[in-house]
Amino acid sequence: MAWSKQMPKNPVVAVCGATGAVGREMLNVLEQRNFPASKVVAMASYRSAGKKLPFAGGELEVIEMTPESFEGIDIALFSAGASVSKEMRQHVVDAGAVMIDNSSAFRMEDDVPLVVPEVNPQDIGWHSGVIANPNCSTIEMVVALKPLHDLGKIKRVVVSTYQAASGAGAKAMDELYEQSREFLAGEELTVEHFAHQIAFNTIPHIDKFLDDDYTKEEWKMVVETKKIMGDSSISVAPTCVRVPVLRCHAESLNIEFANEVSPEDARRVLADAPGVTVMDDPANNVYPMQGLLAYTDDVYVGRIRKDPTVEHGIALWLVMDQIRKGAALNAVQIAEMLVG
């Protein structure tokens, strides 16, 4: 049953998992976009209760997230992990709030919309109290695929990701820093948060391996793309790779269409697409780069060219800040749509 409660124009917003990297970014995005909240509440585990977080020129004191915390809350932005989201789901809904969840807990449930506002905003209309944020790598890809699919109907996508260390959390970023120092000093490397050395290395392994030898991260890109795009016929062949970059994920895409799509056509529709910035001038070495696009909001597209290995093919390159658009910004954009 779709949600029937009226969202107030100035809702009370809770950021759940507020002390984590994405939670802090959610607070930043709420402030920067002047979200019309009547009040913002920062929630986290009991270990973080009492901490102070900067917000809107002042501070928010973190309160402990409990089943009773959601009374009076209208929108709960969750980035506290799948287990916490599952534990708190019913308490949030029973309190009359809408949960916008950044974890993988509910993404593939039939009664939970999986939403990227630039791609499938209409799906928000059938939520029943929970809306899921997709995986960051999927968000990056579908923002670019949607205008192209409208142009020429996509049959197949071969995607390789180049995912930043921060996608594995703050401690993973620290490990990249520390390993880089150890490597340059000729010391033995400390490997804790990744399966292998990440400094000066790439690791073709994100999340656990499944029975078909693809990883869970790769599986997410396949099934989430079909759900968000509303087209189960799109084939996705992914390889997800961790690279020694601090922030921003990149992706290389080879797209096969049912109809002829020229690089010029692709460039034109992408330039007009919401949430997309085209950076594509190879003659002047202009293309998106991860190290230069941190803290930005768009999906940046470059290296747009013909793929001559299939009948109707285009190749391109994407960069996106996965903490902003890949998590915090996408969640706040969904909240903005709820408010209208």
The verdict on whether 249 is a catalytic residue reads yes
Report helix, strand or coil for 286.
strand
Residue in 91, 127, 149, 249 annotated catalytic: 249
Burial (CB count within 10 angstroms: exposed 0-12, middle 13-18, buried 19+), residue 180: middle
316-325 burial, b at 16+ Cβ within 10 Å, e below that, comes to bbbbbbbbbb
CA distance 248 to 182: 24
CA distance 194 to 105: 23
Contact 40, 28 (CB under 8 A): no
181-210 burial, b at 16+ Cβ within 10 Å, e below that, comes to eebeeeeebeeebbeebbbeeebeebbeee
Residue 238 in tokens: 């992914």
Residue 14, strand partner residues: 41, 76
How far does CA 129 lie from the centroid of its chain? 20
Q: How many CB atoms lie within 10 A of CB 292?
A: 11
Contact 142, 123 (CB under 8 A): no
CA distance 329 to 280: 24
Residue 9 in tokens: 């124009």
Residue in 16, 136, 240, 248 annotated catalytic: 136
The verdict on whether 16 is a catalytic residue reads no
Q: Which residues are marked as active site?
A: 136, 249
